[in-house]
Structures are given as C-alpha cells and as structure tokens.
Amino acid sequence: MTTRPATTFSPLPYTLVLLALYGLAEAVDVSNKVGLAWGGSPDQVSQFLQTGRVSWYYHWSETPDIDQNIDFAPMLWGERDVEGWQETIGDTLDTTNVSTLLGMNEPNLPAQSNLTAQEAADLWKQHIQPYKARGLRLASPVPTNAPSGPIWLQDFLNACGSECTVDVIALHYYGTNASALIDYVNHVHDMFQRPIWLTEFACQSFVDENDVASAEEISLFMNTTVSFLESTDWVERYSWFGAMTKLHGMNPLNALMNEDGHINTLGLQYIGAGSFVVPSTDDDAGNNTTGTALGQNGGATPTFVPDPNATGVSGDSWPSIGGGATSLAVPSWLWILIAAFGFAL
C-alpha cells in the first residue's frame, strides 16, 4: 500500500497568484470606454463617477460643462456653431482634458446639422483639421443609423480626399434589437476599417411607434450591447443616450437619471454599480430550480440588482429577487482559491 507523502502547505505562492489575477480582473472590469452623452447639470455628474468606469463625456458643444477630471470631447455640431467654435475652442483646449474632437451631429438628418458631404468636408478642413497639428485625434461626423448613414460617411471621405485626417468613425444607433446594433457596428467597421465610437445609442425605435420597450427589455438590451462594446477591441468609446432628466420624444425609460436628477437603476447598471442575477424559478413539479436557458423557453431572465453600497436614487427600492438567486458571474479567483486549497489538502 502506497502512502501519500506528507507535505507542508505554504499559502504564499497561491496568494501571490490570486493577487495578480485579481488585479488583472480589476483592470479589465474598469473600462475606459464608458462615457456620458451629457444633458444634466454640473452638480449631478459626481454620482456617475462613483465606480471609476466613466472616463469621458461630450454634450454636443465645444464648451466644457463638467468640472471633473475626465476627458471632454468637443463637438463642432454644425454650421450654426462655427462662430462659437472659433471663439472658444482654443480656450477649451488650453484648460480642459481633451484628446479627441468630434465632427458634426447627424448631418444626414434634416432636423439636425443637415449637411451635404461636401459642406461637411469644407467645414472640417477649415475648423477641425488644423487641430491635428496639436496632436489631437479627430472623430468623423456622426450620422444616424438610417441606410443613408454609412453612404453619407463614404461620400464625406470621398469629398475630403487626402485633406482630412479621420482617426475614428463615430456612430449613433437607435433600435430595440441588440443583435441589429451589433451587426450594424460590425458592418460600419468592415466598411471603413477604423476604430469606432458609438456616441449615442438606446433601446428606442424611431421607425415603429408601437415598438416601445419595457424597463426590463431596456436593461437586457443595455447588458447585451455593452458586453459587445466592451469585448470588441476596435470599439474605443461609447455613451448611452442619455444622461439627462428628460428624453424629449423618446421612451423615458432609457434615461439614466430620474426627473429629480438622481441616478436611477438603469444609470447604476450603466456605470457597473451592481450585478446581474438569475432569479430562481419553480418547475412544473413545484421544485425550485434556476433557469439555465436565460430568457428562453421559460428559463429565468437575468435581473440587474444595484450594489447596496452605491449612491443611488433618493428613495429608490432595489428589485427584490424572490425565491433566492444565482449570480451570473462567479468570481474566478474564488474557484482558483478553492481548487488551490483542495489540491494542497
């Protein structure tokens, strides 16, 4: 009979490995992609910075609106803003954290900046391109996701010729199908082979007025699309629409703040202040089980539960998960720790 030799267990090697892995997980988790399409007041922004995920913002203007140490992306909205751009962009660059300038807002839409590709190219050459010499990156004009959007972008690049430096392609997307958003972003990247910024997106249809998402559907749409944006290397930045108290002409459930200016549950989800859990369900025999096919064939639908320690909505009550819950993401370091101690024993 062979006896297993006695061993002396030292936790130090395992501890060092766990600390290294935990640090790596933290670095991945705290993304520098997350931004704010900002429509709030300066005193409302700090609640969005509590997790450290939000690293930049813009608000359709060349003038900064937030007195915080996060990157600001000035935008030359359109022809109407040229005078303000000329007067203030120099001061903005001298006094604010700026790494990238944004081109015109939805130029393919008559209700927005409404520019032909040639008109936009002329504005770009005169008012945006000169700042490349200061080491700034330049993001394209930002079309809608209508079929005309990518075509307009291609026409813009053709009109520019070799006189415009376009480092980044900026996009908007509105719709209620997360897979369609992913397909669209992939399609545009395939067309232009440049990094992508998605500077407006939400679970909102402007095509079918009867296609109105519920709060649960919006939460799952955000979770699916943000997971894609985070895991895709060539997506550099994104910002949900919107970080404001009122969304005029849109489903108000897409807002990241309540009307009183406090961050809401969707806002906490956006900044990563919480986690998704899978509610337990009862099968036909009355047995309590956890759904394995999430959201399919009667399987349990994951629900976002805010971190109870996060600064949240005044008077908001977090969703309760009846019958117990199973976390979607069991920390990998916990499994490693269990395995390490089990092996040692």
Please tell me whether the overall predicted TM-score, pTM, comes out greater than 0.85 for this model.
no
Cβ atoms within 10 Å of 29's Cβ, excluding its own: 12
**8 A C-beta contact, residue 56 and residue 35:** yes
Average pLDDT, the chain: 82
Say what the pLDDT of residue 226 is. Answer: 97
Split at pLDDT 50, 70, 90, the class of 300 is: low
Domain assignment present for residue 336? The answer is: no
330 versus 226: the higher-pLDDT residue is 226
Domain assignment present for residue 189? The answer is: yes
- Please say if the pLDDT value at position 88 is more than 50: yes
SS3 content of the chain, % helix, strand, coil (to 5): 35, 20, 45
Say what the pLDDT of residue 287 is. Answer: 53
Split at pLDDT 50, 70, 90, the class of 309 is: confident
Say what the pLDDT of residue 168 is. Answer: 98
Which range marks the domain in which residue 128 is found? 31-274
Domain assignment present for residue 301? The answer is: no
**8 A C-beta contact, residue 170 and residue 140:** yes
Split at pLDDT 50, 70, 90, the class of 281 is: low
Condensed to tens digits (0 to 9), the pLDDT of residues 116-147 reads: 999 999 999 999 999 999 999 999 999 999 99
Say what the pLDDT of residue 302 is. Answer: 80
Domain assignment present for residue 176? The answer is: yes
Give me the CATH number covering residue 39.
3.20.20.80
Lowest mean pLDDT among 76-85, 130-139, 141-150, 280-289: 280-289
119 versus 301: the higher-pLDDT residue is 119
Domain assignment present for residue 310? The answer is: no
- Please say if the pLDDT value at position 178 is more than 60: yes
> How do strand 169-175 and strand 196-203 relate by DSSP bridges?
parallel
Say what the pLDDT of residue 25 is. Answer: 33
Which residue is it, tokens 């019958």?
Answer: 323
209 versus 24: the higher-pLDDT residue is 209
Q: Which two three-digit tokens encode residue 311?
A: 């600064």
Distance of alpha carbon 204 from the chain centroid: 15
Residues 6+ apart with CB under 8 A from 1: none
Once rounded to an integer, what is the mean pLDDT over residues 37-49?
Answer: 95
Domain assignment present for residue 234? The answer is: yes
Selection from 192, 223, 236 nearest residue 329 by Cα = 223
Lowest mean pLDDT among 3-17, 236-250, 273-287, 302-316: 3-17
Domain count within the chain: 1
Domain assignment present for residue 14? The answer is: no
| DSSP letter for each residue of 25-69 | HHHHHS-S-EEEEE-S-GGGSGGGSTTS---EEE-SSSS----SS
Once rounded to an integer, what is the mean pLDDT over residues 18-34?
Answer: 47
**8 A C-beta contact, residue 199 and residue 102:** yes
Residues 6+ apart with CB under 8 A from 155: 117
Once rounded to an integer, what is the mean pLDDT over residues 61-74?
Answer: 93
Condensed to tens digits (0 to 9), the pLDDT of residues 201-240 reads: 999 999 999 999 999 999 999 999 999 999 999 999 999 9
Once rounded to an integer, what is the mean pLDDT over residues 20-48?
Answer: 71
Domain assignment present for residue 149? The answer is: yes
**8 A C-beta contact, residue 180 and residue 211:** no
* DSSP-assigned letter for residue 180: H
